[in-house]
Amino acid sequence: MFMKLRTQHQKFQDECKSFVDHEILPYANQMDEEEHTHKQLIQKVADKGYLGAVINKAYGGHELDFLSLGIMNEQIGRGCSSIRSLLTVHGMVTRAIDRWGTEEQKRKWLPELSTGAKIGAFGLSEPNVGTDVKSIETVAVRVNDRFVLNGKKKWITYGQIADLFLIFAQYDGEPVAFLVEKGRNGLSTHAINGMLGTKASMLAELHLENCEVEKENMIGGIGQGLSFIATHCLDYGRFSIAFGSVGIGQACIDESLAYTSRRKQFGVPLNEHQLIQKMLSEMVVNVEAARLLCLQLAYRYEMRDPEAMISGWKAKYFATTMLGKITSDAIQIQGANGCSKDSNVQRFFRDAKIMEIIEGTTQMHEIVISKHAFT
């Protein structure tokens, strides 16, 4: 099926691309080296409406269709995977509130999350628990009209600056989810530095020590924390990462085409050497194939196709696994220049490995996809 963007989507793509080229790409390597996202850039992202992309218009959001969300994530991913990760986790929190929250929770949180006045973060992973989310160790105990939370969360993207955490816990053996505000007694954040990739995403470990939250802060009901809320959020996370990975691949193509056009070896530009042409052709075809899988995913979500969920696993799997060779070849083409901290492709190479781990490892994708094939 041939897919061509409509005028409104082409215009939005051009706007996103321009924003990335002027506001993100010039600072991405610096933020990566500093392991910090500039506050003013987050505000610019918010001013563009990207933080309110998935929020209902009734609460100040933009309620973008899935194709527009995909375009946004691809373009931001092309510039900086850390900023794209902000859109992912913030979007996961806002989608959870928009879908499962009470009217009071929506009115309280969504307008400020939409404008970037508040930043959301997703609190599921723990020091001892990653893929096996049913084994989370954080516990909630009911005390009168409150819940007391104890446990630790780890690898929390933008946990250093988030204002609102979506925290998952066990209550009497049942999974539950809570909205926990920054500054709560018993909640502390501890910065995590020195990561391989997405180094500007300001990871944190959260400590919950007798942290009290009102019963009104529970989102959804008892027993819905994982099968409904976490699953819903993680589906969106895979959607975002799949499109963002296409963006990384496209960035590698852009960098490689520019470099091989201006760099000469043996008297001719690099792009006239057949082995370089082979690398470039493989990049182009794999990125285009991944983009088509992602566009199909967006279409299925828009049509409420029951196959959308498994399409998300497939799109994320292919889009992330293709990046290993693409980013490696992009560095190989540039040689020592590609290994320099001033080069974008070395950042893409490191970020690509992170894409294979977050929101389900490559191996988990292979298990899920193979099981679906036999049903």
Domain CATH number, residue 334: 1.20.140.10
The CA distance from 133 to 126, in Å, is 9
Would you say 331 and 350 are in contact if contact means Cβ atoms under 8 Å apart? Answer: no
164, β-bridge pairs: 120, 181
The CA distance from 158 to 329, in Å, is 30
Q: Which amino acid is it at 74?
A: E
Last residue of a domain, one of 222, 242, 259: 222
Identify the helix (H) or strand (E) that includes residue 124. Answer: none
Q: Which of 35, 74, 356, 359 is catalytic?
A: 359
Asked, for residue 290, whether it belongs to a domain, the answer is: yes
Of residues 201, 315, 324, the one with CA closest to residue 252: 324
The CA distance from 364 to 276, in Å, is 34
- Please count the structural domains in the chain: 3
Asked, for residue 202, whether it belongs to a domain, the answer is: yes
Would you say 140 and 170 are in contact if contact means Cβ atoms under 8 Å apart? Answer: yes
Asked, for residue 1, whether it belongs to a domain, the answer is: no
Within this chain, do residues 75 and 158 fall inside the same structural domain, yes or no?
A: no
Asked, for residue 71, whether it belongs to a domain, the answer is: yes
CATH number of the domain to which 99 belongs? 1.10.540.10
Within this chain, do residues 64 and 90 fall inside the same structural domain, yes or no?
A: yes
Within this chain, do residues 75 and 188 fall inside the same structural domain, yes or no?
A: no
The CA distance from 276 to 153, in Å, is 45
CATH number of the domain to which 140 belongs? 2.40.110.10
Contacts of 369 (CB under 8 A, 6+ apart): 310, 313, 314, 317
pTM: 0.95
359 is catalytic: yes
Instruction: Spell out the per-residue pLDDT of the chain, length 375, in tens.
Output: 456 778 899 999 999 999 999 999 999 999 999 999 999 999 999 999 999 999 999 999 999 999 999 999 999 999 999 999 999 999 999 999 999 999 999 999 999 999 999 999 999 999 998 777 788 999 999 999 899 999 999 999 999 999 999 999 999 999 999 999 999 999 999 999 999 999 999 999 999 999 999 999 999 989 888 888 999 999 999 999 999 999 999 999 999 999 998 977 888 888 889 999 999 999 999 999 999 999 999 999 999 999 999 999 999 999 999 999 999 999 999 999 999 999 999 999 999 999 999 998 999 998 999 988 887
Asked, for residue 241, whether it belongs to a domain, the answer is: yes
Phi then psi dihedrals of residue 263, to 5 deg: -85, 130
Would you say 67 and 6 are in contact if contact means Cβ atoms under 8 Å apart? Answer: no
Within this chain, do residues 279 and 321 fall inside the same structural domain, yes or no?
A: yes
Within this chain, do residues 99 and 171 fall inside the same structural domain, yes or no?
A: no
Within this chain, do residues 212 and 234 fall inside the same structural domain, yes or no?
A: no
Which residue segment(s) compose the domain that 185 sits in?
121-222
Q: Which two tokens stand for residue 231?
A: 């699953």
Last residue of a domain, one of 89, 119, 149: 119
Within this chain, do residues 195 and 308 fall inside the same structural domain, yes or no?
A: no
Q: What distances in angstroms separate CA 30 from CA 25, 72, 74, 275, 359, one per listed residue? A: 10, 22, 21, 32, 26
